[in-house]
Amino acid sequence: MRCPYCGNGDTQVKDSRPTDDGSAIRRRRVCPDCGGRFTTFERVQLRELTVVKKSGKRVAFDRDKLARSIHTALRKRQVDPERVERMISGIVRQLESMGEDDIPTDVIGKLVMEGLKQIDEVAYVRFASVYRDFKEARDFEGILREMGEEE
Ligand SMILES: [Zn+2]
């Protein structure tokens, strides 16, 4: 596994153990070149999914990309990382068990919104505002006010 900090291709596994729900193996790695530390997850992949965008463009489903957009929504929020991992795994499992290899972006967006709503309302609004492509900042502020949150 390549070091995300310096690009060195030869990093070492320091610790390896299953996640709390047993759905993945979590590995703590360290880079001998730069000392960078990072974590990888090993998971079962049931099927190859394709994301179909609104434009009709098709791209291979990428769990990391999904995770990144969720982590962006959760930035600076105090949420247990294992809980977030479970949520992401739950979304992927739902997508994999839909029986379709082609998944419209809408379906993914809705699952993410449902998931975020359960764990953090501010992250939910952040994600929803991007996903729904709110035309006016007013819409966004209105929802935050409804929830009694201030940004
Ligand atoms: Zn490194």
Crossing angle between the packed helical segments 121-131 and 63-73, to the nearest 10 degrees = 120
The predicted-structure confidence for 108-140, as pLDDT tens digits, reads as follows: 988 999 999 999 999 998 888 877 765 444 555
64 C-alpha to center of ligand 1: Å?
20
How many angstroms separate the alpha carbon of residue 8 from the centre of ligand 1? 5
d(CA 138, CA 151): 13
pLDDT of residue 98: 87
39 CA distance to ligand 1 middle (Å): 13
Task: Give the pLDDT confidence of 46-57 residue by residue, as tens digits.
Answer: 788 999 988 899
Q: What is the pTM of this model?
A: 0.65
Residue 150 Cα to ligand 1 midpoint, Å, equals 39
> Average of pLDDT values for 36-45?
88
**What would the mean pLDDT of 72-99 be, rounded to a whole number?**
91
Sign of the four-CA dihedral 55, 45, 95, 88: negative
CB 105 within 8 A of CB 53: yes
